[in-house]
A and B are shown apart, each in its own frame.
Chain A
Amino acid sequence: MPTATYAGHSVAVNDEGFLADPAQWTEEMAPEIARSAGVDELTPLHWLVIRFMRAEYQAKGTGPTVRVLGKTSGVSIKDLYQLFPHGPAKTAAMIAGVPKPRGCI
């Protein structure tokens, strides 16, 4: 399994770049993961989505899809795509150190 170094820590990641073990994640890693995922700066609204994603993953064992994020995070689908142009659920999950949410809708 490949590794990546974020905030000075070497962590195992899968082929798509998601952390293999969510427990290894720290908030200090987020800005560096974000840059590698094409998000240059994390605004408070980015952080709201990232923390929401992580909390939902920890509560339910899986992160929300874009539709669920749009309905429950308080950020609209339009704004989610502006924050994370390469896919809101996927990118937010990667930055939050949790697995890619599964779901077709």
Chain B
Amino acid sequence: MSTSLEKVSIIVSKGSLEGIYPALIMANGARAEGIEVNLFFTFFGLDAITRKRLGHIKVASVGNPGLHLPTLVGALPGMPALITRFLGRKMDKLDIPPIPEFIEMIADTGAGLYGCQASCDLFGLTQDDLADQVKDIITVGEFYALAAGGEIIFT
């Protein structure tokens, strides 16, 4: 191999199921290749590591053309939960873990999980509100210091 990736830092900015999973899958896959990984959860992406939210992440059923549903159908009460359950069953068959288990597994691979300071201030969150696996709440500057020398992926 002439060139190889040594480190990736992934910014998770969305709180929907389809916003969070790709970042987690890419983080886990990078660790499996021996690549160093940092995950930086910002804005609604913080839901993925917020204790009371991470077990209740839903698919965005409105404004999501990928679902191929009429907007008004997507807006019906209970629709996000229904679509999330449907996808969840399919993911379970493929052995894709639910988000709480996935967060734990990614921390076990040695990846670093961090909350964004500005977003935590905005939503009134402290370290106690975040999952045990979260190493720290850090500033943007500290994130760039961690990411230095590697690639940055924004999701």
Q: Which of A88-105 contact B (CB under 8 A)?
A: 88-91, 104-105
Question: Residues of B contacting A105 with CB < 8 Å?
Answer: 25, 28-29, 94-97
Name A71's closest neighbour in chain B (CB-CB). B95
Verify A67–B110 contact, CB threshold 8 A.
no
- On whether the beta carbons of A70 and B105 are closer than 8 Å, the reply is yes
Within 8 Å CB of B129, what residues of A? none
| Complex interface: stretch among A3-11, A27-35, A46-54, A77-85 | A77-85
Cβ of A66 and Cβ of B32 under 8 Å apart? yes
Measured CB to CB, the nearest residue on chain B to A68 is B95
Please indicate the chain A residues that have their CB under 8 angstroms from the CB of B97 in the complex.
67, 105
Neighbouring A residues of B31 by C-beta, 8 Å:
66, 81, 87
Within the complex, the shortest CB–CB distance from B7 to chain A, in Å, comes to 13
B34 touches A76 (CB 8 A): no
Check: B16 CB closer than 8 A to any chain A CB: no
Q: Is B121 among interface residues, defined by CB-CB distance under 8 A? A: no
In the complex, how many angstroms separate the beta carbon of B92 from the nearest chain A beta carbon?
12
Which one of A65, A68, A87 lies within 8 Å of B34 (CB-CB)? A87
- B32 and A87 form a contact (CB under 8 A): yes
Q: How many interface residues does A have (CB within 8 Å)? A: 20
- On whether the beta carbons of B96 and A91 are closer than 8 Å, the reply is no
* List of A residues within 8 angstroms of B96 by Cβ: 105
Q: Are A86 and B34 in contact (CB under 8 A)?
A: yes
- Distance to closest chain A CB from B38 (angstroms): 15
Given known A-B contacts A70-B105, A81-B110, A104-B25, A90 and B32 have beta carbons under 8 A apart? yes
Q: Does B18 contact A (CB under 8 A)?
A: no
Could you tell me the distance between the alpha carbons of A45 and B58 in the complex, rounded to whole angstroms? Answer: 40
B110 to chain A, nearest CB (A): 5
Contacts of A90 in B (CB 8 A): 32-34
Residue in A67, A88, A89 whose CB lies within 8 Å of B95? A67
Interface residue ranges, A against B (CB under 8 Å): 15-16, 65-68, 70, 76-78, 81, 85-91, 104-105
The 3 closest A-B pairs by CB, nearest first: A86-B34, A87-B34, A77-B108
A-B contact pairs, 16 of them (CB 8 A): A66-B109, A67-B95, A67-B105, A68-B95, A70-B105, A76-B108, A77-B105, A77-B108, A77-B109, A85-B110, A87-B33, A87-B34, A88-B32, A91-B34, A104-B25, A105-B29
